[in-house]
Amino acid sequence: KAGVTQTPRYLIKTRGQQVTLSCSPISGHRSVSWYQQTPGQGLQFLFEYFSETQRNKGNFPGRFSGRQFSNSRSEMNVSTLELGDSALYLCASSSLRSAQETQYFGPGTRLLVL
Amino acid sequence: GDSVTQMEGPVTLSEEAFLTINCTYTATGYPSLFWYVQYPGEGLQLLLKATKADDKGSNKGFEATYRKETTSFHLEKGSVQVSDSAVYFCALSENTGFQKLVFGTGTRLLVSP
């Protein structure tokens, strides 16, 4: 079974631009979560989507948004990019067959904002 | 809120040495506990997990036991290899059905031949 895939793997943008990252979950997984990883703040939860609905959101400004499609694929968007948005963005999927389900991570998209 | 505290790294060991990475947590309920590993340039890989008190998770020679009385989930391995060099993250997830992981800061392990 194929794992979680994320595209693109690397991105370079300039301040003020916007960016869209894509995540395809493991087949059959309906929950997709996004995390931001930076050297200063570590791994932080952005949001979770299930059945095209955002169920949970972390403490990030409104510039960070996402959505999920009917095939469970998810995108996240960051508008008006700031230097501090440079990070590794990780997507994780879960089957949600139980409350203790494991999240499986993709390889991440590394975003550099200049 | 929920939090996870890990020992500071890097942890530097020689091959075949014994490894312990400490992890303690604070949670309002009864969370599931996880260890994830990150190799350079890669995403996170699940190493092991435990979903209730006294459970022991194990994988690839690594073990961790869910200790509710000490709110700990320390990672151990009896004999490390150079290939174990990576960053290890302890994490928790409240068993609410919402998929939100709270991570520790990570501990870098360096194993020399």
Q: Identify the closest residue of chain B to A39 by CA–CA distance.
A: B105
In this complex, is the C-beta atom of B29 within 8 Å of any C-beta atom belonging to chain A?
no
- pLDDT beyond 90 at B80: yes
Question: If you average pLDDT over every residue of chain A, what do you get?
Answer: 93
In this complex, is the C-beta atom of B98 within 8 Å of any C-beta atom belonging to chain A?
yes
Q: How far is residue A18's CA from residue A1's CA, in Å, rounded to a whole number?
A: 33
Provide the pLDDT for residue A99.
Answer: 59
Please judge whether A43 and B43 are an interchain contact, meaning their C-beta atoms are less than 8 angstroms apart: no
Provide the pLDDT for residue A106.
Answer: 95
Q: Pick the residue of A54, A72, A103 with the most B CBs within 10 A to test the interface with B by mutation.
A: A103
- pLDDT beyond 90 at A26: yes
Provide the pLDDT for residue B96.
Answer: 73
- pLDDT beyond 80 at B95: no
CB pairs under 8 A between A and B: 62
Provide the pLDDT for residue B98.
Answer: 73
Residues of A in contact with B107 (CB under 8 A): none
Provide the pLDDT for residue B29.
Answer: 81
Provide the pLDDT for residue B63.
Answer: 98
Query: Residue B82: phi, psi to the nearest 5?
Result: -55, -35
Please judge whether A96 and B105 are an interchain contact, meaning their C-beta atoms are less than 8 angstroms apart: no
Please judge whether B34 and A102 are an interchain contact, meaning their C-beta atoms are less than 8 angstroms apart: yes
Provide the pLDDT for residue B81.
Answer: 97
Q: What is the pLDDT of residues A66-108, one digit of tens each?
A: 999 999 999 999 999 999 999 999 999 998 766 567 899 999 9
From the list A15, A12, A21, the residue with the least C-alpha distance to A64 is: A21
Question: If you average pLDDT over every residue of chain B, what do you get?
Answer: 94
> What is the nearest CA distance from A43 to chain B, expressed in angstroms?
6
Provide the pLDDT for residue B91.
Answer: 96
Residues of A in contact with B51 (CB under 8 A): 100
Q: Which amino acid is at A5?
A: T
Q: How far is residue A63's CA from residue B18's CA, in Å, rounded to a whole number?
A: 45
Please judge whether B99 and A33 are an interchain contact, meaning their C-beta atoms are less than 8 angstroms apart: yes
Contact A22, A4 (CB under 8 A): no
Please judge whether A107 and B43 are an interchain contact, meaning their C-beta atoms are less than 8 angstroms apart: yes
In this complex, is the C-beta atom of B49 within 8 Å of any C-beta atom belonging to chain A?
yes
B108 pLDDT tier (thresholds 50, 70, 90)? very high
In this complex, is the C-beta atom of B69 within 8 Å of any C-beta atom belonging to chain A?
no
- Taking residues B43-57, report their average pLDDT: 94
Provide the pLDDT for residue A98.
Answer: 65
Residues of A in contact with B103 (CB under 8 A): 42-44
Provide the pLDDT for residue B67.
Answer: 96
